[in-house]
Structure 1
Amino acid sequence: VDFHKRYDAYNQDVMLKVRRGQIGTPYHAYSYMEDKITVPLHMLRNWADHSSPFWFIGVHKLDLVRWITGLNPVQVIAHGHKGKLQAEGIDTFDSVSAWISFESGFTCTIDVNWIVPAGFEALVNQGLRIVGSDGMVELDGQERGLRYSTSKDGTTTPNLGAFSDQETLLGYHAVSGYYVDPIKDFLLNVYYLKQGGSLDQLTGRYPSGMDGLWATQTAEAVQKSIIEDRSVALNEI
């Protein structure tokens, strides 16, 4: 399952520190992810009306928080807005806000949308904040220190942690980043199994079908909560 947020070095550092107890017991979190409107209008226009910002990008943030904390969601309250994309002939939500309670009483608010103006300096705007009993962590996943301003493209802030294509000294191109590393990891796991390794030995070392099920179940609960205007327990799904 391509939960590529797990392959971001910044997120990996957060996971290790939280799991080691450096911020104490996690109490609550806030996570957001926003795509430019070009994503549903052009990149995904053929099927955007069969999806939503939570189904498309919210599941990644849910998986990230679940992976960092090691906790599973139990209940959801969500609200969605429609209007802008409907006016463009795409009947889906512009934005979704979900309040999710997890095991142990930990809570997380996830805000997602895919209507950021086309002129925004990056394709994705994202961030994460987790507060614990003994500390907190804040991560700006979009503003990573590199900025260009040109007559042709205006201002851009590329995320080389997501994708980098560099020409090596030997003349070939080497691609890296959390957009491609999950694919490399999958191929390495397949190779490992082909060489006689067991799936049991890989358990917990990659995003599994069970992780995908948790994300899908939560997204379904979010959708149900919006439509029925009530809180939805995960065991209802």
Structure 2
Amino acid sequence: MPPSLPSKVAKGETPAGPGAPKPVHMDEVLVEIGGKSTMPEFSENLRGASAGDERSFDVVYPEDTSDQRLAGKTFTYKVKVQSIKTKSLPELNDEFAKQLGEFSSLEEVRKRIREGMEAERKHDAERDAKDKLIVELIKRNEFEVPESMVEHQIDIRLDRGLRALAAQGMKAEDMKKMDLNRLRAGQREQAVSEVKASLLLDRIAEMEKIEVGNQEIDDEITALAKQSNQEPEAIRARLTRDGALDRIRNRIRNEKTLDFLYHQSA
């Protein structure tokens, strides 16, 4: 018999945490008891509750939580259980496999999963080997790099990091409070390594006559368009306006050069 996982459908209120002006009311929130994405405090305090029960408990969010608005803060939740549901997992058989749409048997599903896991393992191993190859390449070719290139690479790394924080919900005013000088200093060592790696790969590409064709650029633009649900022409126009096409060409060239070195060393 397939295992079942209990869930509670609840509504509740979050009284004001630090700096919050008023409680936040939420209706019909599904909480999976013991679920991977469920805060432990919710599972501990709602386990065993029945429909109609009311519970009040505190949740302490760690400093490293992904949502910086909650980091390091404590909130008190008042919850009323509306109903209890059970999540029943399906039987693992050929009928289940057919419901997935492209399989005729459970063995086919298992084979696809095994192949996917093996491909991921090989990809991870190749990535680790390439990282070590770059480290060794830099170690064997010590040289100074222009400060302007290092500063530019630090700018790129910071911009990438700030965009990620914004995507996670960090507000612009909170970003302005960050110590950018300290952040820049923290990015310097990795930026120097990345600049050295790029210059070395560029030199090897020249020696080995490794080039990037227009079709490869077109393929990259098409992939970016699919990811962002935009037209390729719009992506190309933006990249051209931002001067990013050359960066894409250089990145693809470096990747091809690294592939060349990897297969040479294998």
Q: TM-score surpassing 0.5?
A: no
Name the structure with the higher strand share. 1
In our comparison, the structure showing a higher alpha carbon Rg is 2
Name the structure with the higher helix share. 2
Q: TM-score, normalised by structure 1?
A: 0.23
